[in-house]
C-alpha cells in the first residue's frame, strides 16, 4: 500500500482530529475511555452526546455504501478511529458500529441492513456482544446456550458471561446453539440479534477489581426472540462469527491511544528530575521510550494495512490477528514502562496529586485486557501459526 496521504486525506484527517479535540474539552472529570462509558451515568451521557455529534456529521457511517446512509471511504474511517483514539473520545459503539455494521453489510439480509444500519448510523441503538460463556471462551464453539425454534420464534435458555456493557445496551448480537444434535460443535450454531428488553433476559453485574461495572453475566430463561433477526443462515453462524472477529481485532483507536500515552510519558520525563537529573537524560529510560515509539509506529502501520485490505475486501484473518497480538502485547509493555518511570507515583489514583492524571495506576491493573478480550493472544498466535504459516494445527 502507498502510505503517503493525499492533500484531501490530510485535510479530512485534520478535521476528525479538530472535532475530537473540541469534544475532549467537554469530557467529565476523570473520564477514562470504555470504563467510564459503561461505569458511570455521566460517562454514558458524554458517550451519547459525542455519538449524536458524530451521527449529525455522518461520521458513524464512514465507508458504508451510500444506499445505507454511508459517506466517505474506509480510510476516512481509519483516520476517524485514530482521532478518537488519540483524544480518548467515545461516541462510537464498538459493538454496533465497528463490528456488527460491517458484518451486516457482508452477511446480513437486505431487510436487516435497511432496518438496522440507519439506526446504528444515527446512534439510536447500542449493542453488546453475547458470545462467551462460563465454559466457552477460547473454545467458543463449545457454547451451550440453546435457541430452539418454536414457529417464528426461538426460545433461549442458558448463560453468557463477560458481556461488556450489556447493562447499557439496547440490543445484542449473540452466538447460540440452534441444533444441539449437529455432527460437529461448529455446526448447529446461529448468529442472532435481539432486543435486550425481551422478557426472560436478566443482566447481572460482574464488578471489576476496582469495583467498576463494565462486565456482566446474561441469563436466558425461556426468552422468546424473533427468528427474522438471524444474520446469515440458521446453523451457519460460525462463518458469520469469523467475519465479525476480523473486524473486532483490527481496531486502530487503541493504538492511537497508546501514541498519546507515550507522548505524555515523554513530556513527564522532560519535566521531572529524580536525584537532581532529568528523567529524560537517563539512558535506560530514553532507550525504552525510543523502542516503544518504534513499536507504536509499527502497530499503526500494521493496522493501516488491515484497513487497506478491508477497503479492498481482501482482509485475511491472519492480519487482523497480527494487529491484535502486537497491540495487546504493546499495551502491556507501555503500562510496565509507565509504572517503572513513575515509580511510587504510579500508584497514586486519579487526583490532583497524581502525575499523568493517575493513568498508570489504572492501566497497570488493566493492561492484560487487550491480551485476553477479542480472543486471547495465545489463540491469535495459534491462528497465525496454523492458518497463516501452515504449521500443524494444535487442538
Question: By C-beta, is 289 or 369 nearer to ligand FAD?
Answer: 369
Q: What is the DSSP letter of 388?
A: I
Asked if 93 interacts with ligand FAD (CB under 6 A), we say no
CA nearest to 140, candidates 207, 34, 240, 284: 240
Nearest approach, Cβ of 222 to ligand FAD (angstroms)? Answer: 21
Sign of the dihedral through C-alpha 322, 328, 331, 336? negative
Does residue 378 belong to the site contacting ligand FAD (CB under 6 A)? yes
Nearer to ligand FAD, 63 or 90 (CB): 90
Q: Would you list the DSSP string of 217-267? A: EEEEEEEEEEGGGEES-TTBHHHHHHHHHHHHTT-SHHHHHHHHHHHHHHH
Asked whether position 369 contacts ligand FAD by CB under 6 A, the answer is: yes
One-character DSSP codes across 352-384: TTSGGGGHHHHHHHHTTHHHHTTS-HHHHHHHI
Is residue 248 part of the annotated active site? The answer reads yes
Does 375 interact with ligand FAD (rule: CB under 6 A)? Answer: yes
- Chain positions 130 to 159 lying near ligand FAD, rule: CB under 6 A, are 130-132, 137-138
Q: Which helix (H) or strand (E) holds 277?
A: strand 277-278
Least distance between ligand FAD and beta carbon 325 (Å): 11
**CB-nearer residue toward ligand FAD: 117 or 130:** 130
From candidates 129, 253, 308, 361, binder to ligand FAD by CB under 6 A = 129
- Interacting stretch for ligand FAD, rule CB under 6 A, among 50-58, 101-109, 293-301, 371-379? 371-379
Q: How does DSSP assign 152-219, residue by residue?
A: TEEEEEEEE-S-TTTTT-SEEEEEEES-TT-SSTTTTEEEEEEETTSTTEEEEEEE-TTS-EEEEEEE
Of 110, 248, 357, 378, the active-site residue reads 248
Q: How far is the CB of 160 from ligand FAD (least distance, A)?
A: 6
Angle between helices 74-87 and 283-311 (to 10 degrees): 150
**Contact region with ligand FAD (CB under 6 A), list: 19-27, 99-107, 190-198, 368-376:** 368-376
* Residue 373 interacting with ligand FAD (CB under 6 A): yes
Active site residues: 248
Judged by the rule CB under 6 A, the positions of this chain that interact with ligand FAD are 129-132, 137-138, 162-164, 215, 369, 372-373, 375-376, 378-379, 382
Amino acid at each position: 500500500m502507498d502510505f503517503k496521504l493525499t492533500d484531501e486525506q490530510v485535510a479530512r484527517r485534520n478535521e476528525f482530529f479538530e472535532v475530537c479535540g473540541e469534544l475532549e474539552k467537554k469530557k467529565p472529570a476523570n473520564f477514562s475511555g470504555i470504563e467510564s462509558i459503561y461505569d458511570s451515568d455521566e460517562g454514558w451521557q458524554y458517550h451519547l452526546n459525542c455519538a449524536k455529534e458524530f451521527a449529525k456529521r455522518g461520521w458513524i457511517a464512514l465507508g458504508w455504501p451510500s444506499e445505507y446512509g454511508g459517506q466517505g471511504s474506509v480510510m476516512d474511517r481509519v483516520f476517524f478511529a485514530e482521532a478518537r483514539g488519540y483524544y480518548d473520545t467515545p461516541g462510537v459503539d464498538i459493538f454496533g458500529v465497528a463490528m456488527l455494521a460491517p458484518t451486516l453489510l457482508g452477511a446480513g439480509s437486505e431487510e436487516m441492513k435497511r432496518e438496522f444500519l440507519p439506526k446504528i448510523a444515527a446512534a439510536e441503538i447500542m449493542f453488546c456482544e453475547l458470545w462467551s460463556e462460563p465454559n466457552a471462551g477460547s473454545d467458543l464453539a463449545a457454547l451451550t446456550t440453546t435457541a430452539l425454534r418454536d414457529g417464528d420464534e426461538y426460545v433461549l435458555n442458558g448463560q453468557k458471561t463477560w458481556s461488556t456493557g450489556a447493562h447499557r445496551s439496547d440490543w445484542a448480537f449473540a452466538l447460540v446453539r440452534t441444533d444441539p444434535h449437529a455432527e460437529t460443535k461448529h455446526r448447529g450454531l446461529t448468529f442472532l440479534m435481539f432486543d435486550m428488553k425481551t422478557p426472560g433476559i436478566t443482566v447481572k453485574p460482574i464488578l471489576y477489581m476496582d469495583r467498576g461495572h463494565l462486565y456482566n453475566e446474561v441469563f436466558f430463561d425461556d426468552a422468546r426472540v424473533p427468528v427474522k433477526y438471524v444474520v446469515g443462515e440458521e446453523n451457519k453462524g460460525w462463518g458469520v462469527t469469523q467475519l465479525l472477529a476480523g473486524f473486532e481485532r483490527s481496531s486502530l483507536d487503541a493504538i492511537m491511544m497508546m501514541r498519546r500515552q507515550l507522548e505524555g510519558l515523554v513530556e513527564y520525563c522532560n519535566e521531572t528530575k529524580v536525584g537532581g537529573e532529568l528523567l529524560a537524560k537517563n539512558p535506560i529510560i530514553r532507550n525504552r521510550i525510543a523502542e516503544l515509539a518504534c513499536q507504536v509506529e509499527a502497530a499503526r502501520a500494521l493496522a493501516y494495512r488491515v484497513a487497506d485490505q478491508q477497503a479492498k475486501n481482501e482482509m485475511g484473518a491472519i492480519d487482523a490477528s497480527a494487529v491484535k497480538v502486537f497491540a495487546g502485547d504493546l499495551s502491556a509493555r507501555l503500562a510496565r514502562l509507565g509504572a517503572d518511570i513513575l515509580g511510587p507515583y504510579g500508584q497514586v489514583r486519579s487526583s490532583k496529586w497524581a502525575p499523568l492524571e493517575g493513568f498508570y495506576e489504572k492501566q497497570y491493573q488493566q493492561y492484560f485486557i487487550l491480551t485476553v478480550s477479542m480472543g486471547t493472544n495465545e489463540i491469535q498466535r495459534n491462528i497465525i501459526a496454523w492458518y497463516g504459516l501452515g504449521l500443524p494445527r494444535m487442538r
